[in-house]
Structure 1
Amino acid sequence: MSFISIKNVWKYYDDNLVLERLNLDVEQGEFVSMVGASGCGKSTFLNMLLGRELPTKGTIVLDGETLKDEPNADRGIVFQKYSVFPHLTVLQNVMIADEFSSAKVLGWTFGNNKKLIKEKALEFIQAVGLTPAVAKYPHELSGGMQQRLAIAQALMKAPKVLLLDEPFGALDPGIRNDMHELIHDVWQKNKLTIFMVTHDIKEGFELGSRLWVFDKLRDDPQAPNAYGAQVTFDLPLAERVNKNNVNEIIEKVSRN
């Protein structure tokens, strides 16, 4: 059985069909880049993987269990807009999830339990290169540093799946390149299964081990909401794809 199985998944909002006939399997440790035009259902699909929404029809199975409409520690997410707590330091931001899990009433831990959570948080802070900023607050960090902090937060609960929703879209090119290296290292070292939504096809090729293109195969100008998007291309990117063929493939995907 595949690590993740998407079985005949459809998603409606009232009479608006967003996604249809999704039948896909993903193995543990794959990095799936998802591209497509705005409004074609990529973020909707990501929200179903997160558990924020359920398919209208069909099922999504993760590690043998059907996903429910409630996010849990199995799935971590990093958004384009930084999702950090402005009143907490870098260290406190990374510790907070484990502190809430360990002390649901007070939200803060003490003694040896707090020490263990702090040590764990410092390891992830070091992994994303934020050790010099451990006592700083988010407003003192650059955009790239805030995204590093969001990644450390997401990794703290040891998720089986990491979901990235346009995580680098607001960053300038130089910082984006640094973040690409970081997320690739995080993926390899933690053996994560990653799904990343991006509007940048080249970014999808550079980071992913697999590229999904979302698009509508059917369209009716008289009823624009009658049909949903499907995964029209499912491209394996083993060994990062032969670089001589990348531009040719990008042009092919863009035309569709």
Structure 2
Amino acid sequence: MSFIQVRNLWQQYGDHVVLEGLNLDVAEGEFCTLVGTSGCGKSTFLRLLLGQERASRGQILLDGQPLAGEPDPSRGVVFQRYSVFPHLTVLDNVALGLELPRAPWLGRLLGGHKREAREQAAALLAKVGLGQALGNYPAQLSGGMQQRLAIAQALIMRPRVLLLDEPFGALDPGIRKDMHALLLQLWRETHLTVFMVTHDLSEGFSLGTRLMVFDKVRVDPQAPQAYGARVTYDLPLNSARSAARAAAAPLAAVFPTPTGI
């Protein structure tokens, strides 16, 4: 059985149909890049996967069960605009992801639990290249460093699915290349299933193990919003990289097992 199943998925807002009749089967650990023209439903599909929106029709199954109707720890997300807390240090931005679910009233853990959460956050930040910036604030970081921080925020809860909405679109080409290498390294090591929206076709081909092209197959000039997009091309990519990844280190190699948090 597929890890993620999309069955006859429709999304529309009033008379505006954005997605229509979407059907997909995604295996665990695939790196799916989503490309297509602006407004063809790529980001809408990502929001449906995240649980920010409910489908008008159809369903999404995760491991055979209906996808949770709101965001939960099984799905991490990174947006193009940096989703970090400007008033918190780099370390606190990431440790907060472990503290809030376990201390919803205070918002902070205490004693040994707090120390363990911060140790885990520091280990992950070192993994993404921010080990020397733990006490800095986001405003003191470059754009690439802020995206590294956003990725660490998404990964600290050990999601099974990572959703990326044009995460590198605002970065300079040289920094984007470094971020590509980091993302592929993390993907190999964590066994995540990744969905990444990009407007850069070369980025989609170079990063993904599967490229999905979103487009409308039906167009009515008199009613341009009457029909939605589907996946018109679904191309397997980088089969050698997929095979090599299967032998990579498991999730525990990146995230130490918590003891008592």
Q: Which TM-score band applies after superposition, normalised by the shorter structure?
A: over 0.9
In the alignment, is the contact (CA less than 8 A) between 1:162 and 1:195 conserved in 2?
yes
What's the CA shift string for 1:100-145, capped at 9, x where partnerless?
Answer: 1111101011111011101111111011000011110000000000
In structure 1, what residue type is equivalent to 2:144?
A: G
User: In 1, Cα distance between the equivalents of 2:48 and 2:161?
Assistant: 13
Q: Could you say what secondary structure the match of 2:132 adopts?
A: helix
User: In 1, Cα distance between the equivalents of 2:239 and 2:22?
Assistant: 26
TM-score (norm 1): 0.93
* Identical-residue share of aligned pairs (%): 60
Consecutive aligned runs of 4 or more in structure 1 exceeding 3 Å deviation: none
| Backbone CA RMSD of aligned residues | 1.0
In the alignment, is the contact (CA less than 8 A) between 1:209 and 1:240 conserved in 2?
no
Asked if 1:17 corresponds to 2:8, the answer is no
In structure 2, what residue type is equivalent to 1:215?
A: D
User: In 1, Cα distance between the equivalents of 2:70 and 2:146?
Assistant: 26
How far off its partner does 1:63 sit?
Answer: 1.5
What's the CA shift string for 1:80-102, capped at 9, x where partnerless?
Answer: 00000000001000000111111
> How many residues align structurally?
241
In the alignment, is the contact (CA less than 8 A) between 1:51 and 1:70 conserved in 2?
yes
TM-score (norm 2): 0.91
User: In 1, Cα distance between the equivalents of 2:150 and 2:196?
Assistant: 15
User: In 1, Cα distance between the equivalents of 2:165 and 2:112?
Assistant: 36
What's the CA shift string for 1:194-222, capped at 9, x where partnerless?
Answer: 00000000000111000000000110001
Asked if 1:160 corresponds to 2:160, the answer is yes
What's the counterpart of residue 211 of structure 1? 211
How far off its partner does 1:240 sit?
Answer: 6.9
In structure 1, what residue type is equivalent to 2:226?
A: A
In structure 2, what residue type is equivalent to 1:115?
A: R
User: In 2, Cα distance between the equivalents of 1:89 and 1:69?
Assistant: 31
What's the counterpart of residue 129 of structure 1? 129
What's the counterpart of residue 108 of structure 1? 108
Which sections of structure 2, spanning at least 5 residues, go unmatched? 242-261
Asked if 1:44 corresponds to 2:44, the answer is yes
Q: Could you say what secondary structure the match of 1:133 adopts?
A: coil
What's the counterpart of residue 233 of structure 2? 233
Asked if 1:28 corresponds to 2:28, the answer is yes
What's the CA shift string for 1:126-180, capped at 9, x where partnerless?
Answer: 1100001111000000000000000000000000100000000000000000000
Q: Which has the higher helix share?
A: 1
What's the counterpart of residue 169 of structure 2? 169
Which sections of structure 1, spanning at least 5 residues, go unmatched? 242-256
User: In 2, Cα distance between the equivalents of 1:7 and 1:35?
Assistant: 20
In structure 1, what residue type is equivalent to 2:98?
A: D
In structure 2, what residue type is equivalent to 1:185?
A: Q
